[in-house]
A and B are shown apart, each in its own frame.
Chain A
Amino acid sequence: MDNIFSREEQIISRAEALLGTNSFQSAKDASNYRVLLDEYKILLRQMMKIVKMADKTQLDLKIVSEKLNRLSHIDVLTGLYNRRYFNEAYVKEWNSAVRSQKELAIIMIDIDYFKKYNDTYGHLQGDECLKAVADVIKKAVKRPRDLLARFGGEEFVVLLPETGLEGAVSVAQDVLFLVNGLDIEHAASPLQKKVTVSLGVAATLPQNNLAKEELINNSDKALYLAKSSGRNCYKEY
């Protein structure tokens, strides 16, 4: 079928054929039939147009809806996923890990002395710093299922499915190394006068009877440990 209205067109062909066979009892009948057929043709043409316009409008709506969906998941500044998307993805990965009985790991990353950075260089440069740090973390997070999101102001989170503590620590080390390599000047930081990050690493084997938040809380505690042990380092919990 090359046309969704092929049946309607068949009907028109049959009607035309009928008019050609002179099978009407009178010329008047034939002429009435012709008038009705012409009306039908006009209405069919209208219907085709309506469907065409509706298809076009629906496609537009679909594109807009996809765009909005994307925007609602993305952090505008860094282009990373936002907190909302992370929360949704986290629940899915947690449930999936409960079923598959594979470990799940989280790295919480926080830029050291970021408030001081903003105070010293202004918020616009603060934004540039956030973008630069986001970009290098992206490089350290390599597997397709790994998820990097902006968790809050200067805080990022990495979700690593099917990953134990050891694997997560390796990613954390990469992040630490790459951020140090950025060499962004931070005059107000006591740490070598450059921008650094602290990281909290946690992993667990998700179980039905465990609270989902536990893993996030643990990575937070690990981050706190890293902060209180001098920053520019990672800690495990």
Chain B
Amino acid sequence: MQNLLIEKTNSTPYINFNAVSGVLQIKGESFPENAAKFYNPVMEWLREYLDCTSEQTTLDFEIVYFNSSTSKIFMTIFDVLDEEVKNGKKIVVNWRCDGENETAIECGEEFEEDLRYLPFNIILF
């Protein structure tokens, strides 16, 4: 399976999903005009990847700023992953944020609150 690499722009994050290492990275700011359109290929790649992997997968989120549409997409992703972990997949999410960015930390906690199976680590730097 091919890796997914999307360079960052002013309004969209850097995305580097590596199917071999199982490290999926999303980094930067996310306020695309059309979040569904931007994240569609990302979601598709993720679904396809999850269909064929049984290896340990790590999702690294390092998002400084994101809009509401993006938070909806993230919730959808976390729901999918939660379900996968329930069914036996080994997945971990790392929500990385600046220790001084209270909002980013609190948003991480909001996401974490609704998950039942998916390990969700808030990692401060």
Contact surface of A with B, Cβ cutoff 8 Å: 42, 45-46, 49-54, 56-57, 60
Contacts and interface: CB of A to CB of B under 8 A. Distances in A.
Given A46-B72, A50-B68, A52-B110, 8 more contacts: A42-B114, A45-B114, A50-B71, A50-B75, A53-B106, A53-B107, A54-B68, A57-B107
Contacts of B111: 49
Contacts, number: 34
Interface in B87-119: 103, 106-107, 110-111, 113-114
23 contacts: A42-B114, A45-B114, A46-B114, A49-B71, A49-B75, A49-B111, A49-B113, A49-B114, A50-B68, A50-B75, A52-B110, A53-B68, A53-B71, A53-B107, A53-B110, A54-B68, A56-B103, A56-B106, A56-B107, A57-B65, A57-B66, A57-B107, A60-B103
B103 to A, nearest CB: 5
B106 A50 contact: no
State the majority secondary structure of interface residues on A. Answer: helix
Nearest to A61: B65
Interface of B: 65-68, 71-72, 75, 103, 106-107, 110-111, 113-114
B123 to A, nearest CB: 19
Contacts of A45: 114
B3 to A, nearest CB: 30
Contacts of B103: 53, 56-57, 60
Contacts of B113: 49
A72 to B, nearest CB: 21
Contacts of B71: 49-50, 53-54
Nearest to A46: B75
A52 B66 CA distance: 13
Given A56-B106, A60-B103, A50 B65 contact: no
A126 B85 CA distance: 66
A50 B114 contact: no
Contacts of B68: 50-51, 53-54
Contacts of B106: 53, 56
A49 B111 CA distance: 8
B97 to A, nearest CB: 13
Contacts of A60: 103
Contacts of B72: 46, 50
A185 B11 CA distance: 55
Contacts of A52: 110
Q: Which 10 A-B pairs have the closest CB atoms?
A: A54-B68, A49-B110, A53-B107, A50-B71, A56-B103, A46-B75, A50-B68, A60-B103, A53-B71, A50-B72
Contacts of A56: 103, 106-107
A53 B63 CA distance: 14
Contacts of B114: 42, 45-46, 49
A54 B110 CA distance: 12
A143 to B, nearest CB: 40
Contacts of B66: 57
A60 to B, nearest CB: 5
